[in-house]
Structure 1
Amino acid sequence: MSKKRMISVVIMVVIFIGGVAIFNRNELQSTFLAKDKEGGAPVSSNKIAVQVISPQEATQSEGLYYKATLEADQEGIISSKTSGKVISVLFDDGKQVTEGETLVMLDDQDIKNQIKSAESQLEVSKASLQKTEASLENIQRSYERIEILAQQGVVAQAELDNAETSLKMIKADIASNQANIQAAQTNIDNLKTGLADMIIRASITGVMDEKNVSLGQFLTPGNVLGKVKDISLIDAVIEVDQALIQTIKIGQKARVKLNEDDSDTYEGVVKSITPSADPASRAFKVKIQVNNEKLLLRPGVFAKAMLIDDVKVQKFVIPVALITGKEGDYSVFINDNGVVKKLAVTLGNLVNNQAEIKSGLQGNESIISTNLNMLQEGDEITVVSE
């Protein structure tokens, strides 16, 4: 049972017992008054008889084990960027691959044929450009000669105009050929990029998982073929209650093991803390990054993670039944020179019905252990035993 539910159950039990205690209190008061009338020792009916205990110093432990789920620190999705038929699959789940390694090959014959055709068209465009550029030289010289003659009045203006038109047309043809060459080169570059995409490679170094491709399958852009997971680093994901999240810091040391009895432990540090709590559980997700060079830890399995307190703070334990209040607002009643005083406390671990008090007690208090539901802060009490 979780700490939250256990404390809630205990508080309900205490309330029930308190109801009985109130009834007993009334009877006790009647009895004391009767004794006083009969000549017995006078007893004040305004003071409540209680017992008290002292908090016990807690054994310093390294921390509390949380349930954890292991995840790959990094993963890459393997997908197709182009359409094509699968002609080769070079991986299975569990295979260790390196970044850039070939995983799947698609039929590339059609795109190779398109590249050859585009390259031929490029050569035609280049040849046409050379021919046009050669004509440009002759037409340019003819225009210059006619222009001089026209200035001398030897030829008519109409002949000069015709020569100028021819020059403009040949220059336009050259520009068109140059544009055709550029378009052909761009087409070839795109086809070669598409050809490279016919080989699907590992995006990162890691272990293959979730294979989803087979020979003969026709792929379209975006088809997910599997995942490659980098498990040289593993994230142990735990959930921490809102009452304890303030005690956890980025970079805090931690240990991870597959179960509490496992002798093999893995050192780690807190990598991240979600900025908001889960709306249902009111808990925060904390990721602990663990070195997994030997690849003994695997994603998807359960483990135990323990957060280590670098700063040792003196802590005490008391029976959980002595704690009142609700989550985030727990307190205990103490004897302050015959008067009830309420102290706020912060809880830690909960073991064998003993609650660890992380803050709020100095260790020298007399904690009231009986008749709790009959008490209010400021009531006068009589201590009958410790």
Structure 2
Amino acid sequence: MDSLAGSTQSYYDKAESRRKRTRLIIAVVLIALALAAAWYAFSSSKEGAAGAGGAAPGTPGEASIPNVTVVIPGRQSVQAMISANGTIAARREMPVGVAGEGGQVVRVLVEPGQWVGAGQPLAIIDRSVQAQQAASLAASIRVAQADADLAQAELTRADALVSRGFISKADIDRKRATRDAANARVRVAQAQYAESQARNGRLNIVAPAAGLVLTRQVEPGQIVSSGSGVLFRMARGGEMEMMAQLAEADLARIPVGTRATVTPVGAVQGIAGQVWQKSPVIDPQTRQGMVRIAIPYSAELRPGGFADAQLIAGSGEAPLLPESAVQSSAEGSFVLVVGKDNKVERRAVKVGSVSDAGVAIASGLTGNERVIVLAGAFLNVGDKVKPVLQKSSN
């Protein structure tokens, strides 16, 4: 019985082994057929492409050469621009302090950012003591005037009696001198009162001219005097300016009256202005000079803030390219051009002014090159391309 069972098991093991071997042979045959089919398809496609394009086996066909858009920029009239940056300031800043004897501040009437007129009070100083002094001087005028009236009356009566011999000539002279002295005391009292009024008028802190209040350094209850320093700062007429440092060569190209566009930090739109003053000296350390650009008041202008400026320094002829054609690297700006045999070449360029019309090329191109407009980032120097000419923008 055991012998029979062992024979049966051996039979089944051999049958299973034959089935596995058969499946393995079938799998190997199928893989070989698939590889043969793939090789045949690849060889047929390669031979067809070579026969259609006339390309030799092993070289790229025409279908693999990319099309690129190129432009021949020529030379166009462009404005020469000079870029600068600097700070915003009041064109004519007016520091305002105590002009009189000072005292305790009762009220402050303005806040930074307010417009004021010439002579408008900015802060009120207590004048209770000065008002009493003025009243006393006004009373002294009336006393002196009464004395002068009395002296005049006595002189008039004496003149009526001198012809009768009741009063001597010397008495008349003394009375006339008394009358003149009384009149002089009246004028002295009037001058003292006027001085007091002028002093009181200078107690309040007022705007020396119309303009914009920039800062306030005083509060009610504060004791101020002529030594208190600047209490308010104002921009006369609200006029502003940008102060920018320019290189010596650029400064020579910027005459007074040059138009400029100033863009404060955070602003979207630039503000038109013009150069109203440039430094007559050059800093020997930095080789730079100051340019001051006058700009009208705008809510976006804040003295002490930072701004950029574009100054128009004349016009000239230069190639003009779209911004997409100009690329940058660690070595600087460059463009890709289609050179001999339609192969990609790299040209280092110096960028001039940038405007809505495009990027002016200061140096590096003559204007007759075929410059790649798009897809420059996906090309390498030496790649062969099919250039498609596009008209240059005007």
Residue 229 (structure 1) aligns with = 235
**In 1, Cα distance between equivalents of 2:296 and 2:257:** 14
Work out whether 1:79 is the aligned partner of 2:108: no
Work out whether 1:312 is the aligned partner of 2:315: yes
SS in 2 for 1:64: strand
SS in 2 for 1:243: helix
**In 2, Cα distance between equivalents of 1:178 and 1:277:** 65
Work out whether 1:102 is the aligned partner of 2:106: no
Work out whether 1:220 is the aligned partner of 2:225: yes
Residue 257 (structure 2) aligns with = 251
**In 2, Cα distance between equivalents of 1:110 and 1:348:** 71
> Residue 279 and residue 173 in structure 1: after superposition, are their counterparts in 2 closer, same or farther (change >3 A)?
farther
Residue 155 (structure 2) aligns with = 136
8 Å contact from structure 1 (residues 97, 206) kept in 2: yes
**Runs of 4+ in structure 1 displaced over 6 angstroms?**
56-59
Match of 1:92 among 103, 111, 115: 111
Any residues of structure 2 matched to 1:356-375 within 5 Å, and which? 356=362
| Structure 1 range deviating more: 117-126 or 100-109 | 100-109
8 Å contact from structure 1 (residues 207, 230) kept in 2: yes
Between the two proteins, the alignment pairs up a number of residues equal to: 257
Q: Which amino acid aligns with 2:150?
A: K
Structure 1 residue 65: Cα displacement: 1.5
Residue 204 (structure 1) aligns with = 209
Structure 1 residue 232: Cα displacement: 3.7
Structure 1 residue 191: Cα displacement: 0.9
**In 1, Cα distance between equivalents of 2:142 and 2:267:** 71
**In 2, Cα distance between equivalents of 1:306 and 1:177:** 73
Q: Which amino acid aligns with 1:280?
A: Q
8 Å contact from structure 2 (residues 255, 275) kept in 1: yes
Residue 38 (structure 1) aligns with = none
Match of 1:298 among 285, 302, 319: 302
Residue 270 (structure 2) aligns with = 265
SS in 2 for 1:314: strand
Q: Which amino acid aligns with 1:314?
A: E
Structure 1 residue 256: Cα displacement: 0.9
**In 2, Cα distance between equivalents of 1:134 and 1:244:** 83
**In 1, Cα distance between equivalents of 2:267 and 2:104:** 48
**In 2, Cα distance between equivalents of 1:175 and 1:57:** 93
Residue 173 (structure 1) aligns with = 178
Q: Which amino acid aligns with 2:235?
A: K
SS in 1 for 2:185: helix
Residue 9 (structure 2) aligns with = none
**In 2, Cα distance between equivalents of 1:131 and 1:77:** 52
**In 1, Cα distance between equivalents of 2:186 and 2:299:** 54
**In 1, Cα distance between equivalents of 2:124 and 2:268:** 45
Residue 145 (structure 2) aligns with = 126
8 Å contact from structure 2 (residues 210, 237) kept in 1: no
Structure 1 residue 124: Cα displacement: 0.8
8 Å contact from structure 1 (residues 232, 295) kept in 2: no
Q: Which amino acid aligns with 1:164?
A: K
**In 2, Cα distance between equivalents of 1:179 and 1:74:** 46
**In 1, Cα distance between equivalents of 2:219 and 2:105:** 7
Residue 191 (structure 1) aligns with = 196
**Residue identity (%):** 22
**In 2, Cα distance between equivalents of 1:143 and 1:203:** 60
**In 2, Cα distance between equivalents of 1:235 and 1:136:** 70
Higher gyration radius (CA): 2
Structure 1 residue 255: Cα displacement: 0.7
Gaps of 5+ in 1: 1-55, 147-158, 318-346, 365-386
**In 2, Cα distance between equivalents of 1:220 and 1:201:** 14
> Residue 262 and residue 164 in structure 1: after superposition, are their counterparts in 2 closer, same or farther (change >3 A)?
closer
SS in 2 for 1:229: strand
**In 1, Cα distance between equivalents of 2:250 and 2:148:** 77
Q: Which amino acid aligns with 1:135?
A: E
> Residue 232 and residue 103 in structure 1: after superposition, are their counterparts in 2 closer, same or farther (change >3 A)?
closer
> Residue 165 and residue 248 in structure 1: after superposition, are their counterparts in 2 closer, same or farther (change >3 A)?
same
**In 1, Cα distance between equivalents of 2:178 and 2:195:** 26
Structure 1 residue 286: Cα displacement: 0.8
Residue 17 (structure 1) aligns with = none
**In 2, Cα distance between equivalents of 1:122 and 1:289:** 53
Gaps of 5+ in 2: 1-73, 321-349, 355-359, 369-394
Structure 1 residue 185: Cα displacement: 0.6
Instruction: Say what the alpha-carbon RMSD is for the aligned residues.
Output: 3.2
SS in 2 for 1:60: strand
8 Å contact from structure 1 (residues 254, 288) kept in 2: yes
SS in 1 for 2:168: helix
Residue 239 (structure 1) aligns with = 245
Residue 28 (structure 1) aligns with = none
Residue 327 (structure 1) aligns with = none
SS in 2 for 1:306: strand
8 Å contact from structure 1 (residues 207, 229) kept in 2: yes
Q: Which amino acid aligns with 2:95?
A: I
